[in-house]
Structure 1
Amino acid sequence: MSAIGLHRVLAPAGALPQAAERLDTRSELWPDEVRVRVERLNLDAASFRQLTEQAGGDREAVRATVREIIKDRGKMHNPITGSGGMLVGTVEEVGPESPLGLAKGDRIATLVSLTLTPLVVEDGLARWDGASEQVPCDGYAILFGRSIAAKLPPDLPAPLSLAVMDVCGAPALTARVVSTYAKPTVCVLGAAGKSGSLALAAARRAGAGRVIGVVPIERERAALDSAALAHEVVLADARDPVAVAAAVEQAGGPADVTIVCVDAPGCEGGAILATAAGGTVIFFSMATSFSAAALGAEGLAADLTMLIGNGYVPGHADLALDLLRTEPGVRKLFEERLAT
Structure 2
Amino acid sequence: MSSDPVGLHRVITPSGVLPQAAEKLDARPEIWPDEVRIAVERLNLDAASYRQLAEAYGGDGTAIRRAVLDIVEARGKMQNPVTGSGGMLVGVVDEVGPESPLGVAPGDRVATLVSLTLTPLRITDGLENWDGRGKQVPAHGHAILFARSIVAKLPDDLEPELSLAVMDVCGAPALTARVVRQYVDKGIKPVVSVIGGAGKSGSLSLAAARHAGAARTIGIVPVRHESERLAAAALADTVALADARDPVALAAAVEQAGGPADITVVCVDVPGCEHGAVLSTATGGTVIFFSMATSFSAAALGAEGLAADVTMLVGNGYVPGHAEYAIELLRTEAGVRELFESRLAED
User: TM-score normalized by structure 1?
Assistant: 1.00
- Measure the CA separation in 2 of the matches of 1:243 and 1:270: 8
> Which amino acid in the other structure matches residue 136 of structure 2?
Q
**Aligned to 1:29, which of 28, 31, 49?**
31
Corresponding residue for 1:161? 163
Instruction: Give the CA deviation at 1:294.
Output: 0.3
Equivalences for residues 107-186 of structure 1 within 5 A: 107-181=109-183, 182-186=188-192
Corresponding residue for 1:4? 6
Cα-to-partner distance string for 1:284-339 (whole Å, 9 max, x where unaligned): 00000000000000000000000000000000000000000000000000000000
> Which amino acid in the other structure matches residue 191 of structure 2?
T
- Aligned residues with identical type, % of pairs: 73
4+ residue stretches of structure 1 with deviation over 3 A?
none
Where do 5+ consecutive residues of structure 2 fail to align?
A: none
- Measure the CA separation in 2 of the matches of 1:51 and 1:296: 28
SS of the residue aligned with 1:234?
strand
Instruction: Give the CA deviation at 1:214.
Output: 0.4
Corresponding residue for 1:260? 266
Corresponding residue for 2:247? 241
Cα-to-partner distance string for 1:27-62 (whole Å, 9 max, x where unaligned): 101000000000000000000001100111111111
- Measure the CA separation in 2 of the matches of 1:83 and 1:123: 23
- Measure the CA separation in 2 of the matches of 1:315 and 1:80: 31
SS of the residue aligned with 1:276?
strand
**Aligned to 1:302, which of 304, 308, 313?**
308
Q: Does 1:314 align with 2:316?
A: no
Instruction: Give the CA deviation at 1:108.
Output: 0.2
- Measure the CA separation in 1 of the matches of 2:225 and 2:74: 39
- Measure the CA separation in 1 of the matches of 2:249 and 2:133: 31
Equivalences for residues 97-116 of structure 1 within 5 A: 97-116=99-118
Instruction: Give the CA deviation at 1:167.
Output: 0.2
**Aligned to 2:332, which of 322, 326, 330?**
326
Q: Does 1:218 align with 2:224?
A: yes
Instruction: Give the CA deviation at 1:183.
Output: 1.3
> Which amino acid in the other structure matches residue 177 of structure 1?
V
SS of the residue aligned with 2:308?
coil
- Measure the CA separation in 2 of the matches of 1:70 and 1:21: 11
SS of the residue aligned with 1:179?
helix
- Measure the CA separation in 1 of the matches of 2:70 and 2:114: 21
- Measure the CA separation in 2 of the matches of 1:86 and 1:208: 30
Instruction: Give the CA deviation at 1:92.
Output: 0.4
User: TM-score normalized by structure 2?
Assistant: 0.98
For the aligned residue pairs, the C-alpha RMSD in angstroms reads: 0.4
Instruction: Give the CA deviation at 1:219.
Output: 0.6
The aligned length equals: 340
**Aligned to 2:56, which of 54, 60, 63?**
54
Instruction: Give the CA deviation at 1:99.
Output: 0.4
Corresponding residue for 1:291? 297
- Measure the CA separation in 2 of the matches of 1:43 and 1:26: 22
Instruction: Give the CA deviation at 1:180.
Output: 1.4
Cα-to-partner distance string for 1:250-306 (whole Å, 9 max, x where unaligned): 000000000000000000000000000000000000000000000000000000000
> Which amino acid in the other structure matches residue 49 of structure 2?
S
> Which amino acid in the other structure matches residue 313 of structure 1?
V
Corresponding residue for 1:71? 73
> Which amino acid in the other structure matches residue 241 of structure 1?
P
- Measure the CA separation in 1 of the matches of 2:224 and 2:72: 37
